[in-house]
């Protein structure tokens, strides 16, 4: 990845990933979690396959292909699948977001012995401020009491999945053309989610224009662009710095949910967003 693109990557990633939170909630009104994911991955594969004979990219082989498939499973199946189930069981957006916000802390605790990265005091301060700001935004918008236990466990599973994917990609990931890398990841996602969608949801969906718009965004914005940028940033930088970006996801998701879902942003939430932003700046210095 060129340096200008690498500098712009965090901003593009945050916008696309954060908007996807509210858009996915809209999609779950029209289809079950596994059906929505299966459609997302199948269409992504259908979009990528015709590009192979045109671009003729070099496909990874052996261990490299296996590593891409494992990262794909951890993100596409473990993270997205379990978070979507958590929403479907009734866990509030705030409940899931608070749990997933622990990812930067978890990565920073594990990174020193797994990938040999040290975390400075200033970076720990930034991580703490980021967590405080993100939690402030979430608590300002919604309560997190009386959450179903199964849903909370699924959210914790999603947190573990994304943390494992981040660390695995940093340790074993290699620079690969985005077309074959994405093709492998979404093929893995489809292999696991399609049988689950057929068995538990009958692959039923409300085929409305809104669902097609949601799928278009999730496939292009989230699947093809945002995740490609995320994996490229992990390979190019320190995982603690990259993971710190996730503190800004809940505040920005709340901002996007305001016009898309009609969820207002209280004044305290704006203060929390500023605090999370300051934390991310310190953590990424």
| Dist CA 35 CA 18 (whole Å) | 21
| Dist CA 72 CA 223 (whole Å) | 11
Number of domains in the chain: 1
Token output for 199? 């068995």
Helix (H) or strand (E) holding 107: helix 103-114
**Max Cα separation, the chain?**
53
Q: Look at residue 54 in the predicted model and tell me its pLDDT.
A: 92
Residues whose CB falls within 8 Å of the CB of residue 134, separated by 6 or more in sequence, listed in order: 97, 98, 101, 247, 248, 249, 250, 251, 272, 276
* Residues facing 31 on adjacent strands: 205
User: Could you tell me if 226 and 13 are in contact, meaning their C-beta atoms sit under 8 angstroms apart?
Assistant: yes
Question: DSSP per residue over 135-169, as a string?
Answer: HHHHHHH----S--HHHHHHHHHHHHHHHHHHHHH
Residues whose CB falls within 8 Å of the CB of residue 172, separated by 6 or more in sequence, listed in order: 63, 67, 70
Q: Look at residue 147 in the predicted model and tell me its pLDDT.
A: 64
Q: Could you report the per-residue pLDDT of 195-237, keeping only the tens digit for each?
A: 999 999 999 999 999 999 999 999 999 888 988 888 888 877 6
Q: Look at residue 144 in the predicted model and tell me its pLDDT.
A: 46
User: Could you tell me if 41 and 189 are in contact, meaning their C-beta atoms sit under 8 angstroms apart?
Assistant: yes
Q: Look at residue 117 in the predicted model and tell me its pLDDT.
A: 58
Domain encompassing residue 182: 3-283
User: Could you tell me if 282 and 122 are in contact, meaning their C-beta atoms sit under 8 angstroms apart?
Assistant: yes
| Dist CA 25 CA 6 (whole Å) | 29
User: Could you tell me if 240 and 123 are in contact, meaning their C-beta atoms sit under 8 angstroms apart?
Assistant: yes
Token output for 263? 């969820």
| Dist CA 61 CA 238 (whole Å) | 26
The residue ranges of the chain whose pLDDT is under 50 are: 144-145
Q: Look at residue 187 in the predicted model and tell me its pLDDT.
A: 96
User: Could you tell me if 170 and 235 are in contact, meaning their C-beta atoms sit under 8 angstroms apart?
Assistant: yes
| Dist CA 190 CA 196 (whole Å) | 10
Q: Look at residue 200 in the predicted model and tell me its pLDDT.
A: 94
Q: Look at residue 184 in the predicted model and tell me its pLDDT.
A: 95
The residue among 88, 89, 82, 208 whose CA lies nearest residue 156 is 82
- For 10, other C-beta atoms within 10 Å of its C-beta total 20
């Amino acid at each position: 990845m060129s340096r200008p693109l690498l500098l712009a990557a965090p901003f593009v990633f945050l916008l696309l990933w954060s908007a996807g939170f509210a858009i996915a909630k809209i999609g779950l009104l029209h289809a079950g979690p596994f059906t929505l994911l299966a459609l997302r991955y199948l269409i992504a594969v259908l979009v990528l396959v015709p590009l192979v004979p045109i671009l003729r990219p070099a496909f990874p082989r052996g261990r490299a292909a296996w590593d891409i498939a494992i990262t794909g499973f951890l993100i596409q199946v473990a993270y997205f699948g379990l978070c979507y189930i958590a929403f479907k069981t009734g866990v509030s957006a705030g409940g899931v977001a608070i749990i997933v916000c622990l990812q930067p802390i978890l990565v920073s605790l594990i990174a020193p012995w797994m990938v040999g990265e040290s975390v400075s005091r200033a970076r720990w301060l930034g991580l703490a401020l980021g967590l405080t700001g993100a939690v402030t935004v979430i608590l300002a918008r919604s309560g997190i009491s009386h959450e179903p236990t199964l849903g909370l466990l699924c959210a914790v599973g999603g947190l573990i999945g994304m943390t494992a994917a981040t660390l695995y990609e940093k340790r074993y990931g290699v620079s690969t053309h985005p077309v074959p890398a994405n093709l492998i990841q979404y093929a893995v996602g489809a292999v696991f989610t399609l049988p689950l969608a057929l068995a538990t949801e009958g692959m039923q969906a409300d085929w409305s224009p809104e669902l097609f718009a949601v799928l278009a965004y999730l496939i292009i914005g989230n699947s093809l662009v945002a995740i490609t940028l995320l994996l490229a940033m992990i390979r190019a930088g320190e995982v603690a710095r990259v993971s710190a970006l996730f503190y800004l996801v809940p505040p920005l998701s709340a901002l996007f949910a305001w016009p898309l879902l009609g969820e207002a942003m209280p004044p305290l939430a704006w203060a929390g967003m500023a605090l999370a932003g300051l934390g991310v700046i310190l953590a990424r210095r």
